[in-house]
Amino acid sequence: MDKYEQVIELAKRRGFLWNSFELYGGSRGFYDYGPLGSTLKRRIEQIWREFYVIQEGFMEIECPTIGIEDVFVASGHVGGFSDPLCECKKCGEAFRADHLVENVMDAAATLNAEQLTQVIREKGITCPECGGEFKDAYEFNLMFKTTIGPGTGRQGYLRPETAQGMFVDFQRLSRFYREKLPFGAVQLGKSFRNEIAPRQGVIRLREFTQAECEIFIDPRDKSHPKFERFADKELTLYSRQAQEEGEPVRMKLREAVDQGVIAHEFLGYNLALTNAFLTKIGIDPVRLRFRQHLKDEMAHYAIDCWDAEIETERFGWVEIVGIADRTDYDLKAHSKVSKTELAVYVEYPEPKLVTSFVVKPNMGKLGPIFKGKAKAVAEALKGLSEAELSKEEIHIAVAGEEITLSSDMVDFAEETVKVSGESLVPHVIEPSYGIDRIFYGTLEHAYDAEDVGAKAAESGLKGQEELDELESAAEEEVGETRLVMHFSSAVAPVQVAVLPLLTRKELTDPAKAILAKLMDKNLMTAYDDSGTIGRRYRRNDEIGTPYSITVDYTSLEDKTVTIRDRDSMRQVRAPIEGLEDVLYDLIYKGRSFESAGKPFNFQINSE
């Protein structure tokens, strides 16, 4: 079993991830999040909200998952999100029809399926695999189609990304933020893509969760007001140049922006923010890098684009976040299709006085004389210089006809107007997170099958004598292993387990009382009194419960319990009084485990 299999096996068994519709044989590209998975995912999303909504101030909106056609015409998904496919009659192999045609003509990408079929027929293109003939080409659109309303209804699509919601709501958002750049909004939710062949479990789904943020910024100024926060932060950058050399480089953010590796501060800040988020939820920094899109893989309108990638054992480096400067492409596209100006008015620091030469044809006189031609005459006048307009008789040519006008038919003057600002189409910085992939990443990076003997020794839980025994035993056979999910306590689905040492009423009663206290503190708590204490610790290790509380007979005497730390397996003894606050601080405030109580050195009994 490779690591992916091990992680998926555990995830399935323990209620993190299940294949959807298993009862009926399943369906590819869909996964259920079980009780623990759902909780873990929600915690990840909640931390994401802390970063983007609370810290950055980009409020969350919620738009329908079904969109109308216009939206995706504007976004380019109707036209561009489909691939023309073409299958060989003989061997059945499928090819991109436009790729087949590319060699014999230019602009193959602009043709539709019908046209492509025609070209393939005319040019006699055959299967590169077997030389067979091709069937007709057809469009495979990656969007799920549906019908809105009864009957023929209106064509609708399940959204292939959440981003469009923020673009469509741009005007409303702009007013909400009192028309002051930069502003942004986020959306967390489901998106849908009818993948041709989804694989790799949760890495490529047909229904998946995105967390996207669209930040609208002033195109003339891409500095970031909080840049200093991360300026000295070192990131692993796999820039275009680094990719040529084959080795990512560690670089401080300031250097990267100064040297032009990252296009500008705003993008750089967002790389660092992503780095901070991913690290916080437990992505291993060593297995995290930022890879720059190569020129030819970047959308034509984008200025710069970086993917956060994590290393997985089976799939190698997997993209989990895309951070792009999408310029004004999206707003302009929606502006064009909706015929609405999508821009903000930006005031200058000082109003500008703009002097210009203004020509005002006197339409009251031109109209009756020139009738239908009056407009053309007026336009011609606007093109004249001051010197020409100053003459007694003004000569112009309209549609090849010489026309002479008297000077009273036009006024002109040097005019100075005060301009206090201008309309700007903002640029968009877009961090786009694939939550399901991030979810898998936290599972794989948290997963560990560790040697218990070695771990116990490391944590000082074994005596020297036993250690020696262990060493000689280790040569013979592999020691006992325990499966541990080293979730950061911020995302762990179960935060505390309460375990009476023995299943006896005098211990279970106070244990249940403690459970109630912890629940009151809003901690996700589990109670378990079945089997031996060791088994229960292991069970909780497997689901990544960071802390376990054990009630023993000493508890009855001095009102203390032990707290066990999942990773080190060490224990401290702490008073029951105030225990909920101690745990809250351990989980949310980064309080050190050693400070939580007095050391409780119970040596593991190897009997």
Neighbours of 183 (CB within 10 A): 20
Q: How far is the CB of 490 from RNA (least distance, A)?
A: 22
Selected range binding RNA among 19-27, 220-228, 282-290, 406-414, rule: CB under 7 A: 19-27
* Residue 172 amino acid letter: R
Residues 6+ apart with CB under 8 A from 223: 264, 265, 266
> Helix or strand or coil: residue 510?
helix
- The reply on whether position 254 binds RNA by CB under 7 A is no
| Burial class for 585, CB neighbours closer than 10 Å (0-12, 13-18, 19+) | middle
Q: Which is nearer to RNA, 228 or 577 (CB)?
A: 577
* Binder among 553, 559, 581, 599 for RNA (CB under 7 A): 553
- Distance, in Å, from the CA atom of 527 to the CA atom of 363, rounded to the nearest integer, reads 88
Residues 6+ apart with CB under 8 A from 464: none
* Residue 393 amino acid letter: E
- Distance, in Å, from the CA atom of 354 to the CA atom of 462, rounded to the nearest integer, reads 83
- The reply on whether position 373 binds RNA by CB under 7 A is no
Q: How far is the CB of 270 from RNA (least distance, A)?
A: 16
The maximal CA–CA distance of the chain, rounded, in angstroms, is: 117
Q: Which is nearer to RNA, 186 or 452 (CB)?
A: 452
Selected range binding RNA among 81-89, 146-154, 233-241, 440-448, rule: CB under 7 A: 81-89
* Binder among 162, 164, 174, 550 for RNA (CB under 7 A): 550
Q: How far is the CB of 414 from RNA (least distance, A)?
A: 51
- The reply on whether position 91 binds RNA by CB under 7 A is yes
Q: How far is the CB of 81 from RNA (least distance, A)?
A: 6
Strand partners, 323: 306, 431
Helix crossing, 374-382 with 363-370: angle to 10°?
130
| Burial class for 60, CB neighbours closer than 10 Å (0-12, 13-18, 19+) | middle
* Binder among 49, 99, 240, 252 for RNA (CB under 7 A): 99
* Binder among 32, 63, 481, 567 for RNA (CB under 7 A): 481
Residues 313-332 touching RNA, rule: CB under 7 A, are 314, 319, 322
> Helix or strand or coil: residue 227?
coil
Q: From residue 558, how far is each of 102, 178, 189, 427, 582 by CA, in Å? A: 81, 60, 50, 64, 18
- The reply on whether position 480 binds RNA by CB under 7 A is yes
Residues 559-588 touching RNA, rule: CB under 7 A, are 561-562, 564, 569-571
Structure tokens at 529: 């009194």
- The reply on whether position 493 binds RNA by CB under 7 A is no
Q: How far is the CB of 222 from RNA (least distance, A)?
A: 22
Q: Which is nearer to RNA, 300 or 418 (CB)?
A: 300
Interaction site with RNA (CB under 7 A): 9, 12-13, 19, 25-29, 81, 83, 87, 91-96, 99, 142, 160-161, 193, 195-197, 199-201, 204, 299, 314, 319, 322, 432, 434, 452, 456, 461, 480-482, 501-504, 530-535, 537-539, 550, 552-554, 561-562, 564, 569-571, 600, 602-605
